[in-house]
Amino acid sequence: MERRLPADSIPIFNEGITLVLHRWSALRMAVENEWGGRESCQKAERLGSDLLNWFTQSKEPLYIDDLENMLDEGMLSLNMEVEDGSVEEVAEKLMILHEECLEGNFRSIEILREANLKQAARPHAIQVVNNDEDDEDDDEDEDRPIDNSNMVVEMQMPVKESIPKAAAETEDDGWTVVSSRRNKGRN
């Protein structure tokens, strides 16, 4: 007997899909860098809606291998081949979320929602490439790999929140923020 998500659980499960995909760093990188072209964001959104349709409309039993193939194809549409094991992790998380939603258990989605809110409140690092010496050949530089020796990382602070200086220096994920000498005295 095939189990189906109750209609009132579908929007909650859809939010869970969105939260899982949003936390997937490989997908975020592909979208942020537009590796799938200008429509990268739409391709990622389409992946999310395709996943929801697969979970809710499939007449066949749901197999994790099929889900992994869908995730792989979605990433390939963004010109990215993922070989770090994250496709399998994301597929497993989605299967677990689906199973929990079938049982009316939305705790994992609540946890993802809370984690997403906490992540949104933390400062974000932005990479700024300093290519002072090669400004006249910008068109040719696009095809070359980025030289990290000139890269500066700047912090963007949330507008309504401030964090203690010690917390800004070493984040929970182990990254340490190093300020540029150029930015000393600016605030």
From 9, 20, 31, 51, select the one nearest 115 (Cα to Cα): 20
Can you give the residue ranges of every domain in the chain? Answer: 7-120, 123-183
Say what the pLDDT of residue 166 is: 39
Q: What is the mean pLDDT of each run of 10 residues along the chain (187 residues)?
A: 83 96 94 94 95 92 95 95 93 96 94 87 59 48 45 36 40 54 48
The amino acid at residue 18 is T
Helix ranges (H only) for the chain are: 10-23, 25-32, 40-57, 64-76, 86-102, 107-121, 138-141, 165-169
From 37, 32, 24, 50, select the one nearest 77 (Cα to Cα): 37
Say what the pLDDT of residue 178 is: 54
Say what the pLDDT of residue 147 is: 45
Residue 90 neighbours by CB distance under 10 Å = 23
From 104, 100, 97, 71, select the one nearest 85 (Cα to Cα): 71
Say what the pLDDT of residue 170 is: 47
Say what the pLDDT of residue 2 is: 61
Considering only the C-alpha atoms of the chain, give the largest distance between any 2 of them, rounded to a whole number of Å.
67
Say what the pLDDT of residue 182 is: 47
For residues 96-109, one letter each, b for 16 or more C-beta atoms within 10 angstroms of the residue's C-beta and e for the rest, the string is ebbebbeeeebebb
Say what the pLDDT of residue 161 is: 35
